[in-house]
């Protein structure tokens, strides 16, 4: 009897010792920053020993979960990609017309009545979430489909916003006139940025785009004659509705429907793009650049279109952002914003449209409703990015790859 239990007890003790060591290590690691708090002016030191206990206990339990997940991941890799339940559900929803149609109708009705059953504040939050859906879908073209890591995406967002704000300020241009202009200008900037970085590989590209984003922000901040500097531009007009005067609440509802329309447009365009000639070229380019060129795909053109089309959406959303807040300044366009959009794409699943929409809702709505934890939001973002990359690099929803299956009896390829 005793011998039977021995391996189990040994296993438990070794796991316990491992976790204890991890806890001790993290307590050591976080000691100066978490425990000691210096007040230089009063020349006093605050000792926060409770924090050390939190860290110790937290890392003790987290290390169990970490190791368990690690083991599961290693075990999962050896297994052939089977029919997981997610895949089955996904396929069923896609293939069964009744389910997908009724689901779509239900979602459509909910979307339509949303601003009328919820408060104006909720609608505002929803508009923000929808803006991030669009930004995520736009970045998804560049990062998810074409595989070009763009860390300066917020620059195009800023270009769109300032385009509308400045045109409105100087020439009184209306929202509907400025919207396409913002998109076009952002696309132009996308191409301008795209040209010099064409020759660069993944990580160099990331750093140059980051630098580009910072350059745009710094110019907006410092070129006072052009952009009014850090104080920004106020009093931007809201979108007009056939010349009618709208109250603030009606404006919110109106903007909500504009957003819904644009998101639907984005989803349509992006999903059509993905299956188009250029979309397939992007995916091919992402997978293998050399093989792609050997197949006769023009690398320059393909990359530039990815940059331009990705930037267009950011420009459009920028224009809407300026119209929504009626005030913009360079502080809204920091690197953190880029990182946020990137984490939406990564968390949702690179290359997957549904995933990006879900990712945007999770990342924007969760912190809104968990107000108490809002200061931990960025901390959680960072941690989530690391954890997702380590354990589920494909994101919440895996982009379903176009696959051709050959059936013997029909001798015909069928796309799935």
Partner 1 sequence: MDYFLELFLGGLTRGSIYALIALGYTMVYGIIELINFAHGEVYMIGAFTALIVASVLSLMGMSGFSLLILAGLIAVIYASAYGYTIEKVAYKPLRQAPRLSPLISAIGMSIFLQNYVLLSQTSDFLSFPALIEEFEFMEPVSHIMRSSELVIVLTTAVVTALLTLFIKFSRIGKAMRATAQDKTMAMLLGVNVNRVISVTFIIGSGLAAVGGVLISSHIGQINFYIGFIAGIKAFTAAVLGGIGSIPGAVLGGLVLGWTESFATGYVSSDYEDVFAFGLLVFILIFRPAGILGRTTSEKV
Binders in 65-94 for partner 1, by CB under 8 A: 70, 73
Give, as ranges, the residues between 305 and 364 that touch partner 1 (CB under 8 A). Answer: 335-336, 339, 342-343, 346
Of residues 152 and 315, the one with the C-beta less far from partner 1: 152
Whole-angstrom CA distances from 298 to 194, 201, 292, 301, 304 are 14, 16, 9, 6, 10
Minimum distance, C-beta of residue 380 to partner 1, in the bound complex (Å): 9
Altogether, the residues listed in the chain come to a count of: 416
Site string for partner 1, 198-237 (x = CB under 8 A): -xx-xxx-xxx-xxx-xx--xx--x---------------
For the bound state, the minimum distance from the C-beta of residue 232 to partner 1, rounded and expressed in Å, comes to: 17
Q: What is the DSSP string of 181-209?
A: HHHHHHHHHHHHHHHHHTT--HHHHHHHH
**Secondary element (H or E) of residue 293:** helix 289-294
Decide whether 45 or 248 has the Cβ nearer to partner 1. 45
Q: How far apart are CA 83 and CA 92, in angstroms?
A: 12
Q: Which is nearer to partner 1, 5 or 25 (CB)?
A: 25
* CB closer to partner 1 out of 90 and 229: 229
The full DSSP string for 119-149 is -HHHHHHHHHHHHHHHHHHHHIIIIIIT---
Residues 373-402 that bind partner 1 (CB under 8 A): 375-376, 378-379, 381-386, 389-390, 393
- Is there a contact between 318 and 155 (Cβ–Cβ < 8 Å)? no
Question: What whole-number distance in Å separates Cα of residue 90 and Cα of residue 351?
Answer: 16
32 belongs to the binding site for partner 1 (CB under 8 A): yes
Q: How far is the CB of 72 from partner 1 (least distance, A)?
A: 13
- Size of site (CB under 8 A) for partner 1: 58
Q: How far is the CB of 145 from partner 1 (least distance, A)?
A: 13
Q: Is 196 in the site for partner 1 (CB under 8 A)?
A: yes
Q: Would you say 169 and 328 are in contact if contact means Cβ atoms under 8 Å apart?
A: no
233-234 vs 404-406, strand pairing mode: unpaired
Dihedrals phi, psi of 108, to nearest 5 degrees: -60, -45
Task: Please give the residue ranges that form the binding site for partner 1 (CB under 8 A).
Answer: 25, 28-30, 32-34, 36-38, 40, 43, 45, 51, 70, 73, 143, 147, 149, 151, 196-197, 199-200, 202-204, 206-208, 210-212, 214-215, 218-219, 222, 290, 335-336, 339, 342-343, 346, 375-376, 378-379, 381-386, 389-390, 393
């Amino acid at each position: 009897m005793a011998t039977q239990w021995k391996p189990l007890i040994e296993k438990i003790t070794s796991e316990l010792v491992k976790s204890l060591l991890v806890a001790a290590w993290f307590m050591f690691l976080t000691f100066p920053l978490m425990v000691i708090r210096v007040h230089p002016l009063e020349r006093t030191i605050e000792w926060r020993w409770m924090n050390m206990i939190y860290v110790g206990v937290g890392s003790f339990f987290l290390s169990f979960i970490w190791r368990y997940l690690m083991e599961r991941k290693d075990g999962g890799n050896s297994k052939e990609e089977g029919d997981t339940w997610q895949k089955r559900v996904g396929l069923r929803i896609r293939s069964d017309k009744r389910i997908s149609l009724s689901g779509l109708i239900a979602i459509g009705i909910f979307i339509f009545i949303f601003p009328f059953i919820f408060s104006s504040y909720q609608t505002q939050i929803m508009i923000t979430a929808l803006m991030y859906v669009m930004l995520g879908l736009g970045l998804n073209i560049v990062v998810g489909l074409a595989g070009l890591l763009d860390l300066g995406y917020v620059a195009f967002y800023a270009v769109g916003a300032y385009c509308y704000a400045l045109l409105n300020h100087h020439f009184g241009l209306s929202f509907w006139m400025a919207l396409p202009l913002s998109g076009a200008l952002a696309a132009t900037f996308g191409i301008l940025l795209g040209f010099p970085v064409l020759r660069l590989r993944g990580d160099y590209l990331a750093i140059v785009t980051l630098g580009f984003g910072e350059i745009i922000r710094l110019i907006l901040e410092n070129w006072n004659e052009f952009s009014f500097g850090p104080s920004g531009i106020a009093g931007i007009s809201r979108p007009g509705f056939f010349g009618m005067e709208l109250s603030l609440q009606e404006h919110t509802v109106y903007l909500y429907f504009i957003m819904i329309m644009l998101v639907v447009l984005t989803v349509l365009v992006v999903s059509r793009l993905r299956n188009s000639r250029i979309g397939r070229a992007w995916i091919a380019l992402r997978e293998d650049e050399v093989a792609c060129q050997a197949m006769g795909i023009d690398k320059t053109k393909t990359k530039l279109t990815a940059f331009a089309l990705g930037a267009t959406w950011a420009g459009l959303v920028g224009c809407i952002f300026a119209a929504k807040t009626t005030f913009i300044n360079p502080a809204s366009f920091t690197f953190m914003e880029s990182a946020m959009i990137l984490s939406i794409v990564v968390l949702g699943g690179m290359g997957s449209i549904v995933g990006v929409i879900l990712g945007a809702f999770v990342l924007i709505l969760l912190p809104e409703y968990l107000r108490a934890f809002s200061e931990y939001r960025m901390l959680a973002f960072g941690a989530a990015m690391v954890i997702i990359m380590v354990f589920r690099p494909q994101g919440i929803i895996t982009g379903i790859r176009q696959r051709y299956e050959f059936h013997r009896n029909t001798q015909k390829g069928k796309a799935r």
